[in-house]
Chain A
Amino acid sequence: MNDLATTTTADRPRGRYDAGVLKYREMGYWQPDYTPKDTDLICVFRITPQEGVDAIEAAAAVAGESSTATWTVVWTDRLTACDSYRAKAYQVDEVPNTGAGTATPQQYFAYVAYDLILFEAGSIANLTASIIGNVFSFKPLRACRLEDMRIPVAYVKTFPGPPTGIVVERERLNNYGRALLGATMKPKLGLSGRNYGRVVYEALKGGLDFTKDDENINSQAFMHWRDRFLYCTEAVNRAVATSGEVKGHYLNITAGTMEDMYERAEFAKQLGAPIVMIDLVIGYTAIQSISRWCRNNDMILHMHRAGHGTYTRQKNHGVSFRVIAKWLRLAGVDHLHAGTAVGKLEGDPMTVQGYYNVCRDAVTQQDLARGLFFEQDWADLAKVMPVASGGIHAGQMHQLLSLFGDDVILQFGGGTIGHPAGIQAGATANRVALEAMTKARNEGRDIDHEGPEILAAAARWCTPLKQALETWKDVSFNYTSTDTPDFVATATASA
């Protein structure tokens, strides 16, 4: 498709700038011979053109609408070095298993390169306003999805990145060589501050490293935020004293205004909290502001990806979570919910591993089977600790460890608090399962196959683990994933 003989009129100014409507491909937005520069930002979109719309014209339209174009020709382009500002669609591939003979209309992967000058240094808001600002509502496209983005090192270096990062977080926690354990406090709603702190204390004393506010715990009628912060601080300090370990509770500082959020963050700092939490729905500028505050105040920043499913889940339209994860690593969060693969929430295992790579790699390699279209050099940016949360339990420990390794926070909410012998027992079951599985893996045992046996052996001396395994032995969430990678067998992405 790329060798399609196409003449652009961009190099013939007289015709190009006559008043009227031109095809996007004729305005310089389709350049099949273009080789992206190392400093270009590259996007791959999955596009579904409206019936009768040519794929290349659709790709050119995406390039146009996400950079300089408007629907008609404007002479004012000629006052500018407009070739720099035009995004260039340079490659279009058919998506396998779509189109004729399938249940899905024909889709295409459109590769578009953007010159570095298009983007403001250190601003996710500017980056996203450019790339996803208009084009997803563009009528000639039935649907459009941003699948992946290669961010040039030159642009990566304009972001401070995570305020703490995996390595420094572990140093602060004095915790090395095993996954971290957490739990979200349940029920989500209705607990008073005093009752809430009880759950925190029990879970941390039982052996967890962190407990967590849920995304919608802010400052409602049943529990004012200050009350929550004070009781949680008491609970954390008591649990630290009983174990000698550094522990924390993610205090959710999400609020209606930045002023409220800073007020809550300052109070958390005053109480000696090691970590605060925000929800994705506060927006990129708010995230970058709080990240800056965290960097200035030695605070770990936990991000709950609340709301992402509205635009990440459907394969034909929206933004892939791997792109969101890249933006959040640049914006600067320390923890990011990135899926469990085996739990209750959406996530094909390979796709989820791709998100984890984006969070943790020094250089993310192109890996089409994991949905990673490009090599991404992170230029020594600190790494984000991924969080696996949602419908997981101790009986899956071997799978979780095998899928995600050690640099992950495993969060068992129901899998801690729902334990028949109580919250402490639930926490202990998880901690023992994790340590036993980590030890066995290091000893060279094949945990994928011997996992259940290793857990059963530990359960013989650990009653809470025995009870957990019995309670949740039949719980699994085996549904077909909505979002799985599609790729052309031969690598097509720009290296």
Chain B
Amino acid sequence: MRLTQGAFSFLPDLTDEEIRAQVDYGLEHGWAWAIEYTDDPHPRNTYWEMWGTPMFELRDGAGVLYALNECRKACGNGYIRVCAFDSTRGVESIRMSFIVHRPDNEPGFSLDRQEGEGRNVRYRLHGYAADRSPDERYRADP
């Protein structure tokens, strides 16, 4: 399956040059970029691992690309996304987020159903990635 979280997942994967253009757009707005990675992109897995802290001081898109490529070297077997944080009063949240790296094989999710009372069904979304042992899952981590 192709995970379609993030703003540009229905487009062909962005090249580094295209990622840089988006990063520059965020920097022009004064947002701070952060890099996050995971092997378990369950839609409710809010907290992907942080590759360092958000780069509040970094105003040069090349620096973000450098950090991204460092993260790719270390965590190439997972998903990597970049997020732009906006500290404006009344927002104080993420303004942009898109996937910049995917594993070669995207395992996807199973949907388990448990029949309940009446016609109610309890649904459980389960990421196949989470089935692997911790040793396998985190081997690629720094």
Contact = CB atoms under 8 A, between A and B. Distances in A.
Given A170-B94, A435-B8, A177 B3 contact: no
A173 B94 CA distance: 12
A240 B95 CA distance: 23
B133 to A, nearest CB: 22
Contact of B93 (A170, A238, A243, A380): A170
A237 B114 CA distance: 13
A243 B4 contact: yes
Contact of A167 (B10, B91, B108): B91
A362 B41 contact: no
A69 B96 CA distance: 54
B26 to A, nearest CB: 8
Contacts of A383: 90
A169 B41 CA distance: 19
Interface string A221-256: 000000000100110011011111110000000000
Contacts of A171: 93-94
B43 A442 contact: no
B101 to A, nearest CB: 15
A237 B91 CA distance: 30
B5 A442 contact: no
A431 B10 contact: yes
Interface residues of A, number: 38
A176 B10 contact: no
Contact of B90 (A174, A245, A380): A380
A167 B43 contact: no
Given A439-B11, A442-B25, A443-B25, A174 B93 contact: no
A174 B46 contact: yes
B7 A438 contact: yes
Give the interface SS of chain B, mostly helix, strand, loop or mixed: loop
B135 interface: no
Contacts of A438: 7-8
Interface stretch (B53-61, B70-78, B116-124): B116-124
B12 A178 contact: no
A272 B7 contact: no
B103 to A, nearest CB: 13
A270 interface: yes
B95 A176 contact: yes
A234 B121 CA distance: 8
A207 interface: yes
Contacts of A230: 119-121
Contact of A242 (B1, B18, B21, B41): B1
Interface string A298-322: 0000000000000000000000000
A177 B95 contact: yes
B11 A443 contact: no
A461 B7 contact: no
A434 B108 CA distance: 24
A383 B90 CA distance: 9
Interface in B19-43: 21-22, 25, 41-43
B83 interface: yes
A428 interface: yes
**Residue among B7, B21, B41 with the most chain A CB within 10 A?**
B7
B64 interface: no
A436 interface: yes
Contacts of B93: 167, 170-171, 176
A392 to B, nearest CB: 19
B43 A174 contact: yes
Nearest to A272: B123
A178 to B, nearest CB: 4
A237 B111 contact: yes
B110 A241 contact: yes
Contacts of B111: 237-238, 240-241
Interface in A434-480: 435-436, 438-439, 442-444, 458, 461
A240 B108 CA distance: 11
B125 interface: yes
A244 B43 contact: yes
Given A177-B7, A207-B4, A244-B41, A271 B120 contact: yes
A176 B7 contact: yes
Interface string A375-388: 00000100100000
B136 interface: no
B125 A245 contact: no
Interface in A400-439: 428, 431-432, 435-436, 438-439
Contact of B97 (A177, A272, A442): A177
B84 interface: yes
Contact of B10 (A170, A207, A234, A380): A207
Contacts of B9: 435
Contacts of A443: 18, 21-22, 25
The 5 closest A-B CB pairs, nearest first, are: A177-B96, A442-B25, A241-B111, A177-B7, A244-B3
21 contacts: A167-B91, A171-B93, A174-B46, A177-B84, A233-B123, A238-B111, A241-B110, A242-B1, A243-B1, A243-B3, A244-B5, A244-B43, A245-B43, A246-B44, A271-B120, A428-B10, A435-B11, A438-B8, A439-B8, A439-B22, A461-B12
Given A174-B43, A176-B7, A432-B11, 9 more contacts: A177-B84, A240-B109, A242-B108, A243-B4, A244-B4, A244-B109, A245-B5, A246-B43, A439-B11
